[in-house]
Amino acid sequence: MKERPTLETARLVLRPFSLADAPDVQRLAGDRDVASTTNLPHPYEDGMAEAWIGAHQVRFERGEFVSFAIVLRAGHSLIGTIGLRIKPHHPSGELGYWIGKPFWNQGHCTEAAQAVVDYAFEVLQLNRVHAEYLTRNPASARVLEKVGMTYEGCRRQHVKKWGVLEDLGLYGILRSDWAR
C-alpha cells in the first residue's frame, strides 16, 4: 500500500483523512453555505463522508487523486479539504477545495492551496494545475490568484447548481510560471 503524503505549513497540517474524520466532514460539508458554491450535495447525508473517505486510498494508488484533510496545527481541528484530481498522461491536476464556514476569511485556504500547488510541481512533477469555481464566489477566485494562477476564461452557464445554470471561472498555472 502506497503511503499518502502529509504536508505542513506555518498554521496547517494537510494529512490523509481517516474514518474518524467523518463526523467533522459531515458537519462542515453539511452547511448549506459551504455546499452552495461547491459540488457538494445538500443535504450531506449519513454515510456520505465515510464513502468519500473510503475511496481516497484506492484513487491515490491509481495515481488519479490525492486528498488532504486541512487541520489547524493549534488545536488539531479539521477545517476542510483540498485535493488534486490528477491526469498523469497530460501531466496536469485539477485543484479542488472547501473550507468549513467557521474558518472562512482567515487565509487558511490560500495557505493550503499554495502547499498543494508546490506539491504538484515539486513531487508529482506536473506541468499544469488548474481550477474551476462558480463565478458568484469571488473569494475562491482570490485564492487562485494568490497562489499564482492566471485567469483563463469563463464557461458560461456550464453547470447547474440547485436548478440554476451557473458560470464557471477558470484559472491555471504552468510549471514555468510557478518556477519564476
Model pLDDT for residues 54-88, shown as the tens digit of each residue:
999 999 999 999 999 999 999 999 999 999 999 98
In this prediction, residue 134 carries a pLDDT of 97
Average pLDDT over residues 133-142: 97
Continuous H helices in the chain: 22-29, 32-36, 48-54, 56-61, 108-122, 138-146, 175-179
Model pLDDT for residues 93-120, shown as the tens digit of each residue:
999 999 999 999 999 999 999 999 999 9
**pLDDT grade, residue 1 (50/70/90)?**
confident
Q: Which CATH number describes the domain made up of 7-129?
A: 3.40.630.30
DSSP secondary structure letter of residue 90: T
Model pLDDT for residues 40-54, shown as the tens digit of each residue:
999 999 999 999 999
In this prediction, residue 99 carries a pLDDT of 98
Average pLDDT over residues 156-175: 97
Average pLDDT over residues 18-33: 97
In this prediction, residue 166 carries a pLDDT of 97
